[in-house]
Amino acid sequence: MVDQANKNPLRLPAGIKDFIFAEAEEHRVVERGLTDLLQQRGYREIITPTFEYGEIFEIATKAGMIRNGLDKKVYRFLDRDANLLALRADFTAQIARIAAGRFAEMEQILKIFYTGKVFRAEPHHEGRSREKWQVGFEIFNQASVEADAEAVINILEALDSFGLKNFRVAIGHIGYFHGLIKESGLTGEKRHTLKYLVERKDMAGISRHLEQTGISNEVKKILQRLPDLHGEAVVLEKAKSCTGNEKSLQAVEKLQKLWTFISSHPLAAHVFFDLSEVEGMGYYTGVMLKAFAPGVGSEIGSGGRYDQLTAVFGAEMPAIGFSFDVGLLTQARRILP
Amino acid sequence: MKTVNINRTDRLIAALPKGKLLQPAFEKLKLAGFIFSEADKKSRKLIIEDKSHTVQALFVKPSDVPIYVEHGIADFGIVGKDSLLESGVDVFQPLELDFGRCKLAIAGFPGDRNRNWRLRSSVRVATKYPGITRWHFDKLGVQAEIIALNGSVELGVLAQLADIIVDIVETGTTLKENGLVIFEDILPVTATFIINKASHKLKLRQLDAVVSALRAE
């Protein structure tokens, strides 16, 4: 082990970076590209605090906000009066707090964008950033599929505006999986394990797990096929034919309706559907979105519909949002000719 | 000698584990139509390309396969479940393959087999798998003092560095020759096909075809 006690004053914690000149500029180009595009479309900026009471991330956690143990990645500290504070770990939780607190009476559609950094205590050795720069948008008070379509088109056009080629926007709907889970009757630990296995598309694991649960063969069959339910819009028909449960069918119908809004868009070929995509912030209640670009090994942006999150802050406002990772988008642009 | 540069746009990149799993991995890839020249396989090149110019294979240490795949340097990889779980990476694992079968188990001196570790303040465990070991003993509520070794784990117990070991057991010969016995299995291990999460979306058709070809068998 290297001598840690002998501290070098020039060192930085793992996962933390300085961006100097050219690198600062290329990140700003991406940030500005996104914020300009959103501003032109009528989104207005909210600048959220860098830290606030730790409760909001706990409240959002209770609303189901657990993704890769995000709740465990919040940096918490005490102020002089022993209040528990937390660094911003997630913009959507903050924006939901602000929307519920300041716009609860508002009935018109509310469109917001933000830019800034989130801070997450990622393991030191895995080369992951502990400071992530995000630009994102949220649409409140529009529960209809038009808002979902607007979100998808924002993403497609934003990625296209940077000259990215062969990028993909994957669309899922958490309702499909929830319907199947409900039908299966699995609860607690067993349900959790199934979600974990589906997230990893671990077909063998799913089969073994379901063997031990004694659920009906019909549901078993669909759950085993779930990891294969991805592809172009035709896969939605297949997904529909797989199940008879109301909730799952409604989810697929929502996606089919969404497709009618985007299928004629010139960038529609970049869209595909994935019903086995169940990983995301636990607060999603409907459509789930992820964006990918060649040259980057993880998603360059993610989001979805979260109609119940504001309720935990005291106001019911349907919402859909998405955030781009400025660092990864910058990386994707670097491989362009 | 001709060198191969990684071509991420037009090729599928595979991370393959050096060592025991390599030959069976080549056999499997044949099923998907990917054949590598014998000369390349025997060479000491770190990157080789298949005859159809579809796949480039990177040869890496087994425990590094998950890392290459998680970071998207390789689109897919073949790796033992043991290395996969130990790495804790976030990848898709759509397929278990029918080779590299063994198990992770707890072993030690026969006389210790029936000791109740739960009633002791702690147990010293030597292992190459500190992550899986921590997960297992946490589940049992036993405080494990984990001693991470890089090889010849059995010696850890023989030399009394540790009370027990957690290690891969294939035939059990090494244990037997050193007078050790299995106390308990932790989990079955098999070679596993893993896919990077972004590649799964960006190269969906090619990867689906590979998975179906391997699954069909």
Task: Look at residue A66 and tell me whether its pLDDT is greater than 50.
Answer: no
Contact A292 B94 (CB under 8 A): no
Q: What share of chain A in percent tops pLDDT 90?
A: 66
What was the pLDDT predicted at A57? 82
pLDDT category, A125, cuts 50, 70, 90?
low
With respect to residue A302, please indicate whether it lies within any of the assigned structural domains: yes
CA distance A309 to B135: 32
Write out chain A residues lying below 8 Å of B91, CB-based. Answer: 200
Would you give the DSSP letter of residue A132?
Answer: E
Residues with Cβ within 8 Å of residue A66, at least 6 apart in sequence: A281, A282
Considering only alpha carbons, which residue of chain B is nearest residue A270?
Answer: B202
Q: Is A272 on the interface with B (CB under 8 A)?
A: yes
Q: 172-211 in B: which are within 8 Å (CB) of A? A: 195-202, 204
- ∠ Cα B117 B123 B126 (to 5°): 130
Contact A202 B93 (CB under 8 A): yes
Contact A67, A281 (CB under 8 A): yes
With respect to residue A280, please indicate whether it lies within any of the assigned structural domains: no
pLDDT tens-digit readout, A176-216: 999 998 998 888 888 888 888 998 999 999 999 998 887 88
The enclosing H or E element of A195 equals helix A188-199
Contact A215, A326 (CB under 8 A): no
CA distance to partner chain A, nearest, from residue B112 (Å): 32
CA distance to partner chain B, nearest, from residue A332 (Å): 12
pLDDT category, A5, cuts 50, 70, 90?
low
- Tell me which residue in A167, A274, A298 faces B72 most closely, judged by beta carbons: A298
Contact B94 A227 (CB under 8 A): yes
CA distance to partner chain A, nearest, from residue B64 (Å): 12
CA distance A125 to A214: 41
CA distance to partner chain A, nearest, from residue B11 (Å): 12
What was the pLDDT predicted at A69? 62
With respect to residue A163, please indicate whether it lies within any of the assigned structural domains: yes
Average pLDDT, 10 consecutive residues per value, chain B (217 residues): 72 95 95 92 89 94 96 96 94 95 96 84 95 93 93 93 96 94 95 96 93 85
What was the pLDDT predicted at B87? 93
Considering only alpha carbons, which residue of chain A is nearest residue B68?
Answer: A297
With respect to residue A180, please indicate whether it lies within any of the assigned structural domains: no
pLDDT tens-digit readout, A300-328: 999 999 988 899 899 999 999 999 999 99
Considering only alpha carbons, which residue of chain B is nearest residue A292?
Answer: B198
Contact B8 A202 (CB under 8 A): no
Contact A309, A60 (CB under 8 A): yes
Considering only alpha carbons, which residue of chain B is nearest residue A67?
Answer: B90
Q: How much is the mean pLDDT over chain A?
A: 91
Which domains occur in chain B, in start order?
Answer: 12-100+190-216 (3.40.190.10), 102-188 (3.40.190.10)
The enclosing H or E element of B20 equals none
Q: Is B73 on the interface with A (CB under 8 A)?
A: yes
Please report the ipTM that was assigned to this predicted complex: 0.86
What was the pLDDT predicted at A28? 98
Q: What are B44's two structure tokens?
A: 């000491």
Q: Which residue has the tokens 């004694």?
A: A214
pLDDT tens-digit readout, A92-101: 999 999 999 9
Contact A272, A232 (CB under 8 A): yes
Considering only alpha carbons, which residue of chain A is nearest residue B97?
Answer: A204
Contact A75, A89 (CB under 8 A): yes
Task: Look at residue A82 and tell me whether its pLDDT is greater than 60.
Answer: yes
Q: Is B168 exposed, middle or buried (0-12, 13-18, 19+ CB in 10 A)?
A: middle
Task: Look at residue A67 and tell me whether its pLDDT is greater than 90.
Answer: no
Contact A201 B9 (CB under 8 A): no
Q: Is A207 on the interface with B (CB under 8 A)?
A: no
Contact B198 A297 (CB under 8 A): yes
CA distance to partner chain B, nearest, from residue A235 (Å): 13
Q: Which residue has the tokens 């096909």?
A: B193
Q: What are B55's two structure tokens?
A: 């796949």
Strands B123-127 and B164-169 turn out to be parallel
What was the pLDDT predicted at A278? 83
Task: Look at residue A124 and tell me whether its pLDDT is greater than 50.
Answer: yes
Q: How distant, in Å, are the alpha carbons of A125, A197, A241, B95, B116 from that of B211?
A: 31, 17, 23, 7, 45
- Tell me which residue in B71, B92, B94 faces A297 most closely, judged by beta carbons: B71
The count of other CB atoms within 10 Å of the CB of residue B6 is 11
Amino acid at A277: E
Four-residue CA torsion sign, A142, A146, A149, A150: negative
The CATH number of whichever domain residue A55 belongs to comes to 3.30.930.10
What was the pLDDT predicted at A335? 85
CA distance A207 to A150: 38
Q: Is A296 on the interface with B (CB under 8 A)?
A: yes
Long-range contacts of A277-280 (CB under 8 A, 24+ apart): A277/A170, A277/A172, A277/A230, A278/A172, A278/A174, A278/A177, A278/A195, A278/A198, A278/A199, A279/A67, A279/A199, A280/A67, A280/A174, A280/A304
With respect to residue A213, please indicate whether it lies within any of the assigned structural domains: no
Residues with Cβ within 8 Å of residue B8, at least 6 apart in sequence: A294, A295
CA distance B206 to B213: 11
The enclosing H or E element of A249 equals helix A246-262
With respect to residue A151, please indicate whether it lies within any of the assigned structural domains: yes
- ∠ Cα A327 A330 A333 (to 5°): 155
Contact B94 A203 (CB under 8 A): yes
Looking at the structure of chain A, the number of domains it has is: 1
- Domain extent, residue A319, equals 22-167+293-334
Coil vs helix vs strand at A246: helix
Task: Look at residue A280 and tell me whether its pLDDT is greater than 80.
Answer: no
Coil vs helix vs strand at A154: helix
Contact A297 B199 (CB under 8 A): yes
Q: Is B148 on the interface with A (CB under 8 A)?
A: no
With respect to residue A134, please indicate whether it lies within any of the assigned structural domains: yes
Coil vs helix vs strand at A209: helix
Contact A293, A332 (CB under 8 A): yes
Write out chain B residues lying below 8 Å of A204, CB-based. Answer: 95-96
Smallest CA-to-CA distance from A60 within A281, A214, A254 is with A281
Q: How distant, in Å, are the alpha carbons of A141, A153, A154, A302, A325 from that of A26?
A: 35, 24, 21, 21, 13
CA distance to partner chain B, nearest, from residue A108 (Å): 36
Testing the interface with A: which of B7, B197, B217 to mutate, by most A Cβ within 10 A?
Answer: B197
- What value does the mean pLDDT take over residues A152-166? 97
Q: What secondary structure does DSSP assign to A219-237, as a single string?
A: HHHHHHHGGG-EESTHHHH
Q: How distant, in Å, are the alpha carbons of A248, A261, B70, B187, B209 from that of A271?
A: 21, 12, 23, 39, 20
With respect to residue A223, please indicate whether it lies within any of the assigned structural domains: no
Contact A158, A277 (CB under 8 A): no
Task: Look at residue A75 and tell me whether its pLDDT is greater than 90.
Answer: yes
Smallest CA-to-CA distance from A194 within A214, A208, A183 is with A208
Write out chain B residues lying below 8 Å of A274, CB-based. Answer: 201
CA distance A240 to A223: 13
